[in-house]
Amino acid sequence: MSNAVPQFCKRCVMDSGIPEITFDAQGVCIYCYIHDALEKAFPLGSEGKAHIQKLFEEIKRDGKGKDYDCIVGVSGGTDSTYLLHMMKEAGLRPLAAHFDNGWNTEISVSNIKGVTAALDVDLYTDVVNWGEFKDLLASFLRAGVPWADLPTDLGLTCSLYKTAARVGVKHIIVGNNFRTEGKVPTAWNYGDSRFLLNVHKKFGRRKISNVPILSMFDIFRYAFLKRTKLQRPMYYMEFNKQEAQKIIKELYGWEDYGGHHHESVFTRFVLSDWLPNRFGIDKRKVTYSALVRSGQMSRDDALAKLAQPPQSQERLAMDREYVLKKLDIPLQEYEELLKGPALSHYDFPSYLPFIRRASGLVEAVVRIILPWKPTMLVEYEIKRKMASAV
């Protein structure tokens, strides 16, 4: 392992240890360029407000005569809680939908119950088949790939589509926000159904048939045939995370669970134990960099936070013991996995090579499915521009 001092971006806190990162002559990283491109594509101010108003009118129009006019995915976190609050303030009739993968913290469950009860919003919870899902998660750890929580990401999205189809709703509202979350490097986070199934085929120990995985057929059925749209209104919103937390604490008794995506015990384990100790990956760099670019955190504060471990040793040990016991992975096996070769999505068949070769075609298709361009395609465009400028 190299002992070279990493080069940090002059604007945010991304560094040269991140795969495929590049810097311009002034030392500004490609992820800052991606952020700026997204800022132009999704403006705030009067343009953003006009877009949101138009979106809400479309949702209300499409929902006439139905019990609900939109689905809002809720996790108990800041963004989804505030998003549900905002939907009700706008006069929409949302159904709150939660994907229960077996790893909810008590705080997240309490947060979901608190906001849905206070807003008088119906809650639908999709409970995953635990035996199959457990085997999926264990297979990702045994495969030695970074983002071991991919089954949750794909399962959640598929569950939202299924719920929307079941109640006849055309709009799914999600709380993603590049200004506070950032763009995760593709090398750290990429995954699709083909990749998932190939990982499980090699490392899984039982058949899976009842777990939502968002296959290409699912995307075609829900997005093309049923014309269901995933909407990200926070892309157009003035949103300050600290101010949002203050509001939902006062109105709904919301509690902070300690970190980004820490509402799930397994996600917290992956972020705080698996990624740092197995791959040297600290995804806080992505979140803090986004907050620095958005003016919600100083660069000095971000660097100071990164100098501290993501979790206390006590919490780390408790989570590791809990996760391994729940997945039936002996501690000795896990310690061996931490020493094994680092693999990634490049080591398994996936749809990524096709997406990269045919990014123009993929974008045209995606435009039909989504009302926004995925950040991955923006990343490819910026990389091509920076490469041609060298």
Instruction: Give domain limits for the chain.
Output: 42-280+312-350
pLDDT band at 225 (very low <50, low <70, confident <90, very high): confident
Strand residue runs (E) in the chain = 70-73, 94-100, 123-127, 171-173, 229-231
Quote the CA–CA distance of 44 and 41 in Å, as a whole number.
10
Within its chain, how far is the Cα of 206 from the centroid?
Answer: 27
In the chain, pLDDT over 70 holds for what percent of residues? 89
Tens digit of each residue's pLDDT (9 = 90 or more) over 78-131? 999 999 999 999 999 999 999 999 999 999 999 999 999 999 999 999 999 999
pLDDT(361) > 80: no
Quote the CA–CA distance of 294 and 182 in Å, as a whole number.
10
CB 188 within 8 A of CB 346: no
Quote the CA–CA distance of 78 and 92 in Å, as a whole number.
20
User: How far is the CA of 197 from the CAs of 96, 186, 235, 265, in angstroms?
Assistant: 29, 19, 31, 24
Query: How much is the pLDDT for 364?
Result: 60
Within its chain, how far is the Cα of 267 from the centroid?
Answer: 11
- pTM exceeding the 0.85 threshold for the entire prediction: yes
- The fold for domain 42-280+312-350 equals Rossmann fold (3.40.50)
Report DSSP state, residue 104.
Answer: B
Quote the CA–CA distance of 20 and 383 in Å, as a whole number.
9
